[in-house]
Amino acid sequence: MTMYGQIEEGKVVKIFHSTPKWYFDDGTQVNEEYLISENVYPIEDVDPAKQNMYYTMSTNRNNLEELVIDETNKLIKNYFVYNTRPLEEVLEEVYDNKKFEIFAKRDSLIFSDFEYEFPTGAGIIQIRNETDMRNIQANGIDALRDVVEGAPGNIHIFMDQSNTIREMTATEMVAMVKSVKDRSQAIYSKSWVHNHQNLKGIYNNTSLDTQGKIDQILAYDVEQGW
């Protein structure tokens, strides 16, 4: 949407955030040519080349008199102001963002269904959220109590993702819960490699300049290596 500025005595005095709703006598909306004849010029659009992490953008909305009027092209410039960000600041941002990407990937893998070989055949253990995880852990605690108390053959019930009831002895239930725990731990271990070895290795690499670190961190593929 094009913005406009109204000019008086060589200075911008008013900003329109869309085309001014002015009309001719016949009810049709005024055109660009008429607006310019009334000293209302379009404002130079946002620079797409500077819409990235290397710049901050502000507006001169409180300093209209400082805007540049390009009479040749009938355009108002300098409404959008760009400032270059320090590369060190950009590095910290991309480093933090990539870590959050790794955390998100880790959690998406942990809280996902996976196939398990039950005593009665293969099925899917459903882990959608913390509640599912707590319920599985509770099953493990109950089963472990039976094992400790000398009743490893007591039957425990677990319902898989397809709502199929799986009967297991206490020993078998403990084994199932341990597999869930081992799976989660393996995913955590791989996330540590991503964060504390690979990503931090780039961040601390003294052979790279700041821009080189930024480039490598941005290119780092968090989908691989799980």
Q: DSSP for 62-73?
A: T-GGG-EEETTT
Residues 102 and 164 in one domain: yes
Q: How confident is the model at residue 1 (pLDDT cuts 50, 70, 90)?
A: low
Beta bridge partners of 157: 167
What is the phi/psi pair of residue 76, to 5°?
Answer: -105, 125
Tens digit of pLDDT for each residue in 76-124?
999 999 999 999 999 999 999 999 999 999 999 999 999 999 999 999 9
In this structure, the dihedral spanned by the alpha carbons of residues 182, 183, 189 and 193, taken in order and rounded to 10 degrees, is 160
- At 62 the pLDDT is 87
Q: Which two tokens stand for residue 125?
A: 């253990």
CB atoms inside a 10 Å sphere around CB 125: 21
Query: Is residue 224 domain-resident?
Result: no
Q: pTM surpassing 0.75?
A: yes
Task: Read off the pLDDT of each residue in 164-180 and give the average, rounded to a whole number.
Answer: 98
Secondary structure of residue 161 in the 3-state scheme: coil
**Angle separating helix axes 87-110 and 170-192, nearest 10 degrees:** 160
Q: What sign does the CA torsion over 171, 172, 176, 177 have?
A: negative
User: 128 lies in which domain range?
Assistant: 87-219
CA-based R_g, the chain, Å = 31
Residues 123 and 151 in one domain: yes
Task: Read off the pLDDT of each residue in 146-173 and give the average, rounded to a whole number.
Answer: 97
Q: Report the distance separating Cα 205 and Cα 120, nearest Å.
A: 52
Q: How confident is the model at residue 61 (pLDDT cuts 50, 70, 90)?
A: confident
Residues 120 and 189 in one domain: yes
Residues 76 and 96 in one domain: no
Residues 120 and 55 in one domain: no
Residues 119 and 200 in one domain: yes
Task: Choose the weakest-confidence range: 40-44, 54-58, 61-65, 136-140.
Answer: 61-65
Instruction: Indicate the number of domains in the chain.
Output: 2
